Amino acid sequence: MTDQTPISREDRVEKLKGVGSQRKRVEDARFTQGKGNYVDDIKMPGMLFGDFVRSPYAHARVVSINTEAALKVPGVLAVLTAADLAPLGLHWMPTLAGDKQMVLADGKVLYQGQEVAFVVATDRYAAADGIEAVEVEYSELPVVVDPFKALLPDAPVLREDLEGKMVGAHGPRKHHNHIFTWEQGDKDATEAVLAGADVVAEEMVYYHRTHPCPLEPCGCVASMDKVNGKLTLYGTFQAPHAIRTVVSLISGIEEHNIRVISPDIGGGFGNKVGAYPGYVCSVVASIVTGKPVKWVEDRMDNLMTTAFARDYWMKGKIAATKEGKITGLWCHVTADHGGFDACADPTKFPAGFFNICTGSYDIPVAYLAVDGVYTNKAPGGVAYRCSFRVTEAAYFIERMVEILAIELGMDAAELRRINFIKADQFPYHSALGWEYDSGDYHTAWDKALAAVDYEGLRKEQAERVEAFKRGETRKLLGIGLTHFTEIVGAGPVKNCDILGLGMFDSCEIRIHPTGSAIARLGTISQGQGHATTFAQILASEIGLPADSITVEEGDTDTAPYGLGTYGSRSTPVAGAATAMAGRKIRAKAQMIAAYLLEVHDNDLEWDVDRFVVKGAPERFKTMKEIAFASYNQAIPGLEPGLEAVSYYDPPNMTYPFGAYICVMEIDVDTGVHEIRQFYALDDCGTRINPMIIEGQVHGGLTEALAIAMGQEIAYDEMGNCKTGTLMDFFVPTAWETPHYTTDHTTTPSPHHPIGAKGVGESPNVGGVPAFSNAVHDAFRAFGLRQSHMPHDHWRIWKIANGLGLHG
């Protein structure tokens, strides 16, 4: 069987739909017809439904729990409390951050909405009736929602379980509500530079608490088969293998007896990385009842209890010469982690990669300290559509640069330009310890400024200010600039692990006899289109059409071990594993082709989808032919079949970057804004599927818009969450969302097998400062330095009011 179709090389490349192709997504036929399979779509015979009794108080003792009436509610089968879990040692569970968290309230509650009891019933209606019938007596305790007040000497003790324990998972604790101090850089040298600098700009920059809020909330179905001793756990898991390991560690069930499956996931954005009490309670309830148990949170549960993001108070000092050359950066962060430390950062990085906070700039010396603090708020601190704490870092430096520009009386675009790391400085070693792999910031910046006619915009802005002063308009114009550098693709096993699990990722490929293939990965798509793009990477590597390659993820019984999808790590790590496994396939294919063509391996060269004899282009074997031969020919010295697996431990992170410009009109009287233009240039290295990249950028920018302009998790002084529904938690509709213009430069990563860097989170990292800087910039002429997000109507109004613009 010889494939002799005489088609041009160009057509053969086209047919593969490999890297660079605008391939349509293979997932979409299913999703558009309503045939997705999300966790709440899963049904099993006899399945029960569990749900929580939650605390109405932010800080209280649980005096008593009476379940008698609840157990009489028709359909209610069981009510679990901490007392039931304690004998199994499951009333607490480890967090990914080295802390532990109550599964069900053990004597007290630490935040509003905390899980107090788990009602198991025949369906969700009966469970809801049962919840209402559980009687809990609380005794209220003083509430601390402010992290600075939490560190006062007489602040109430939140974590009584840690009393007297003055060393935590990340070193010494200096107060009963203190979690850790994390220091990076050279403190003395930085302070010396600050002391002698021409100019030092100092400011507190707050990045408020918000929430990833995927449209599908978190949930699971646990099914313990007591006959064969196997536990199957379906759930909204961004890291299914890690969940399997965690479940094994806390339940004592051996890992081979646990099968974790992530079905389709309706968005994650960091919310679905961690382990939640619902998972543990469902497993226990399934063991207790012998039936499958489903738990799916509702939107209020989601917003109030599972994995918030940000809540960083960032005090900064930036030093520069009179000419604007930055000479040093100092930063202290007070990080509000809520009642338990449940961040999902790599173990050695309790503040994630916040030390990327020198940004895109060549800053000779820097110092950073982060203090983690407990408060009476929900736990979390996850990376909401960004790599670990990278959006906080980008926001910090992009605000500090703007504030320095004000201090120096300079144009903020020019200040950035004279401080960018230059193209010939890569690989660049930052003052806070990273090795930036590649970049060309000046080129990107100039392209962006030219695209929006930056000089023209500044001229228009100046004219607008004059017109405003003359009383001819009540609208101001803001030009929001951002040049961000991300750090993604965690990460090298030598310094990146979660719970001791190295942050490699994996791909296993099997080529079928007729020239199609299946690739299995340790990651899991939540909308990123892995089934489409990973097949493209592989198509380019092995010369089989992407349409002939199935990509499968999310089932721990079949997929190779991997750390999952978050922190934009899928392309940098699992994408690399895919390319490397593909190369193993190709190496073996080359030996098979050499045997078939009766030449030496070295006499062959790879050409799109085939090996060709050098100098004899008419003599070749296509990958399809080779695949068949691998199954039907006895080739001396080679095992039959064509399979490969790769576990990829990246040598470094990747450093995507971009230049974003937002042009915003602001109504000074009402605080209402309108985004007139948004230009986003991204450089994510090699571009695998431009269509998907563009979609990722649109989505990330819209999440950034939400965060910058209104979205927050807010508490009152009693610790009541004020933003528990989508009425108050801002998620923009199509009406509030602007049209975006996307653009790119391409600076491949030198260490990634195909030069790709990852893009899904860049628009959030760069977008937030771009929107926020536009608001600040609109008021720069009137003396504004810093005003905290979110910039909703009343906070923008407050800026104008504070600057005396309301007459």
Partner 1 sequence: MGKQHYQITVNGEAKDILAEPRELLIHTLREQLNITGPHVGCETSHCGACTVDIDGRSIKACTVFTAQVAGKEITTVEGLGEPGKLHILQEMFKEHHGLQCGYCTPGMITRAHRLLQEIPNPTEEEVRFGIAGNLCRCTGYQNIVKSILAAAAVMNASQEAAE
Partner 2 sequence: MIPARFEYHRPADVASAIALLSEHGDEARVLAGGHSLIPMMKLRMAAVSHLVDLQDIADLSGIRIEGGRVTIGAMTTQHDLIVHDGLAQAAPILREAALQIADPQVRYMGTVGGNVANGDPGNDMPGLMQCLDATLHLVGPDGSREVAARDYYEAAYMTARADDEILTAISFDVNTGGYAYEKQKRKIGDYATAACGALVTMEGGTCTAASIAMTNLADTPIWSEEAGAALVGTACDTAAIDAAVAAATAAIDPTEDNRGPVAFKMHVAGIIIRRAILRAVSRA
Q: Which residues bind partner 2 (CB under 8 A)?
A: 124-125, 127-129, 132, 298-300, 669-672, 710, 714, 722-723, 726-728, 730, 732-733, 735-736, 792-794, 797-798, 801, 806
Q: Which is nearer to partner 2, 129 or 555 (CB)?
A: 129
Region at 249 (left for phi over 0; alpha for psi -120 to 50; beta for the rest): alpha
Tokens of 735: 């009406």
Q: Which is nearer to partner 2, 362 or 665 (CB)?
A: 665
- Give, rounded to a whole angstrom, the gap between the first and last alpha carbons of the chain: 85
Q: DSSP label at 654?
A: B
Stretch that binds partner 1, among 162-170, 352-360, 430-438, 728-736 (CB under 8 A): 728-736
Tokens of 563: 């750390």
Could you count the other beta carbons within 10 Å of the beta carbon of residue 232?
18
Chain positions 248 to 307 lying near partner 1, rule: CB under 8 A, are 264-267, 269, 298-299
Q: DSSP label at 361?
A: B
**Residue 527 site contact among partner 2, partner 1, none (CB < 5 to 8 Å, cut-off depends on kind):** partner 1
Pair type for strands 505-511 and 517-521:
antiparallel
How far is residue 738 from each of residues 47, 449, 470, 701, 717, measured CA to CA in Å? 44, 20, 30, 10, 35
Pick from 344, 333, 305, 334: nearest CA to 97: 344
Task: State the nearest-atom distance from the C-beta of 103 to partner 2, in Å.
Answer: 23
Q: Which is nearer to partner 1, 299 or 793 (CB)?
A: 299
- Where are the extended beta strands (E) located within 67-166? 76-80, 92-94, 100-102, 108-109, 115-121, 135-140
Per the DSSP assignment, residues forming a β-bridge with 439 are none
Contact 711, 730 (CB under 8 A): yes
Task: Determine whether 761 is an active site residue.
Answer: yes
Would you give the binding string for partner 1 spanning residues 157-186, x where CB under 8 A is met?
------------------------------
Q: Which is nearer to partner 2, 131 or 448 (CB)?
A: 131
Pick from 610, 749, 773: nearest CA to 686: 749
Task: Determine whether 385 is an active site residue.
Answer: yes
Q: Which is nearer to partner 1, 294 or 610 (CB)?
A: 294
List, as one string, the DSSP characters of 692-743. Answer: HHHHHHHHHHHHHHHHHHT----B-TT--BS--STTTS----TTT----EEE
Q: Which is nearer to partner 2, 302 or 482 (CB)?
A: 302
Contact 511, 544 (CB under 8 A): yes
Which residue among 23, 385, 399, 520 is the active-site one? 385
**Residue 202 site contact among partner 1, partner 2, none (CB < 5 to 8 Å, cut-off depends on kind):** none
**Residue 691 site contact among partner 1, partner 2, none (CB < 5 to 8 Å, cut-off depends on kind):** partner 1
Stretch that binds partner 1, among 166-174, 176-184, 727-735, 772-780 (CB under 8 A): 727-735
Binder among 60, 373, 701, 708 for partner 1 (CB under 8 A): 701
Binder among 12, 15, 24, 510 for partner 1 (CB under 8 A): 24
Stretch that binds partner 1, among 76-84, 238-246, 486-494, 726-734 (CB under 8 A): 726-734
> What Rg value do the Cα atoms of the chain yield, rounded?
28
Interatomic CA distance for residues 121 and 110, integer angstroms: 27
Tokens of 7: 């088609």
Task: State the nearest-atom distance from the C-beta of 802 to partner 2, in Å.
Answer: 12
Stretch that binds partner 1, among 25-33, 224-232, 339-347, 774-782 (CB under 8 A): 25-33
**Residue 526 site contact among partner 1, partner 2, none (CB < 5 to 8 Å, cut-off depends on kind):** partner 1
Residue 156 found at the interface with partner 1 (CB under 8 A): no
Interatomic CA distance for residues 173 and 783, integer angstroms: 40
Q: Total number of residues binding partner 1 (CB under 8 A)?
A: 57
Which residue among 114, 184, 238, 536 is the active-site one? 238
Question: Which amino acid is present at 278?
Answer: G
Sign of the alpha-carbon dihedral angle for 627, 628, 631, 632: negative
Stretch that binds partner 1, among 36-44, 335-343, 357-365, 582-590 (CB under 8 A): 36-44
Task: Determine whether 674 is an active site residue.
Answer: no
Task: Determine whether 425 is an active site residue.
Answer: no
Interatomic CA distance for residues 331 and 320, integer angstroms: 15
Tokens of 558: 């079949």
Which residue among 392, 541, 553, 761 is the active-site one? 761
Q: Which is nearer to partner 1, 530 or 752 (CB)?
A: 530
Judged by the rule CB under 8 A, the positions of this chain that interact with partner 1 are 24-25, 27-36, 38, 40-41, 43, 123-125, 213-217, 264-267, 269, 298-299, 526-529, 691-692, 694-703, 725-727, 731, 733-735, 737, 739-740
Catalytic residues: 238, 385-386, 761
